Copies of this chain bind each other. A is one copy, B any other.
Amino acid sequence: MNITKDLYGTSLSLLTDLYQFTMAYGYWKTGHLNKEGVFHAYFRKHPFKGGFTVACGLDYLIDFLQNLKFSADEVAYLASLNGSDGKPLFEEGFIDYLRDFKFSCDIEAVAEGTVVFPNEPLVRVKGPILECMLIETPILNIINFQSLIATKAARLRLSAKDDQLLEFGLRRAQGIDGSLAASRASYIGGCDATSNVLAGKLFGIPVKGTHAHSWVMSFDSELSAFETYAEAMPNNCVFLVDTYDTIQGVAHAIEVGKKLKAQGHELNGIRLDSGDLAYLSIQAREMLDHAGFESTAIVASNDLDEYLIANLKNEQNAQINIWGVGTKLAASFDQPALGGVYKIGAVKENKDSHWKYKIKLSEQLIKVSNPGIQQVRRYYYPDGQCMADMIFDEIEELPTKIKVIDPSDSFRNKRIPDYTEYEDLLQPIFKKGDLVYKRPEIKEIKERVAQQMSLFHSGIKRFSNPHIYPVGLEESLYDKKSALILMHKNEE
């Protein structure tokens, strides 16, 4: 499935901020078509006050980039835009340029499902600066959101441990594709299934669901509602028991469960959607077990998040096997946006000239961007666990003795022992605009998350005051950055 072709019926090439076009026009108009740049998309802080982030969204982005061209219709729209004097913003020559536009950048990115950290480029774009800019906003739109949701799902997976985890967020998600992309990222991050049928079909995610309160209310009694459902779908019976009175509802489910059993079927589960989930699940478990339904699952939903699940499981002994999570996951309720940014690291006048390194200053050190053509190297302990990540300049030779320095606190630094195993996280995705990456299946991406999560110390995975995994700039890149800061400060 190709997202921009199969999901969207319109070209998405205009899915960007207008200023990307006005800047592109600026370069075109003033003879800077050959100016090249390198940009990095990264975030500065983990979401949810957490200690890790799961990169996600690359597959959507690849589709977007493969379809990046401007149709007659699109250029006509751009040609219709006017400036403050009522005259066209763009000259016809630029419109012609866009009509013949062919995307030609090199793109490196971290594989979907990789655990990543602040300041690490998730996507690196190198090429004509005009092109780098046009794709800034879609990169951020896609990667920010799906990484946010995959991270939230990974946190839910941590709290649910080996229980089933279902994503039920469609009705509260932010728009149509807000829901679809959330279902995809939730599955990748740790959910087992979604309620969203279209997401199931588009992405190959398992779908789950049985019935709502309205089913019960549309019959004269709860018992007859359960009986009718069991008659229709004896192989899919999870009864929602809280429409009127939960304990009564469990009794009705058991009554119908006995009939199912007599017919050779199973009572798959009951679902609790309100009330005291700990108390009710314990009561329900006892009633079910007592009636011989030891393998009938107890599903819970109702504004669940990772904290509530952990609390119900660990503190309250709730007897819940399957967790349905909606709003808190699909709309990432406690932090609905990841603040990813896209900053220029270097620029050159044309492809044959030298790179000039660039930083964006800020009064806050954390907001000063890193210069260079960055790559991320992940070092491993002999047992395969992750040791530290290093952001380094790919076009400079590395010293023999490696030292990484925390860019926001130079006293935090770490020597990497010689001969330490490592892996470079940014992989080639596009070369001169052509896709060179073998896109993994969604299942492989999901498995990668689980595997990645196992490579990190549990300290980074706890919810309160997580351990800060060491990530720093390679020493010579750190020095270059410091020199650039000083140069700008002296100019003031």
Hey, which bits of chain A sit against chain B, CB under 8 A? Answer: 5-10, 12, 14-23, 25-26, 28-30, 32, 35, 37, 39, 60, 74, 77-78, 81-85, 87, 89, 129, 133, 136-138, 140-142, 144-146, 168, 170-182, 195-198, 200-202, 207-215, 217-218, 228-229, 231-233, 235-236, 243-245, 248, 265-266, 268, 274-275, 327, 331-333, 336-340, 342-344, 347, 358-363, 367, 488, 491-492
Contact = CB atoms under 8 A, between A and B. Distances in A.
A360 B26 contact: no
Contact of A218 (B10, B37, B232, B339): B37
B171 A26 contact: no
24 contacts: A6-B10, A10-B198, A10-B202, A15-B198, A18-B208, A19-B211, A22-B236, A26-B232, A29-B233, A30-B231, A39-B214, A84-B235, A85-B266, A89-B236, A136-B214, A144-B172, A145-B174, A145-B178, A175-B181, A213-B343, A243-B360, A274-B363, A327-B337, A331-B337
Nearest to A37: B218
Contact of A182 (B10, B17, B175, B218): B175
Contact of A171 (B22, B39, B144, B201): B144
A115 to B, nearest CB: 22
A265 to B, nearest CB: 7
B268 A84 contact: yes
Contact of A233 (B26, B235, B344): B26
Contact of A140 (B171, B211, B243): B171
A172 B83 contact: no
Chain multiplicity (copies): 2
A327 to B, nearest CB: 5
Given A7-B9, A16-B196, 5 more contacts: A19-B211, A25-B232, A29-B233, A141-B175, A171-B340
A112 B211 CA distance: 31
Contacts of A18: 195-197, 200, 207-209
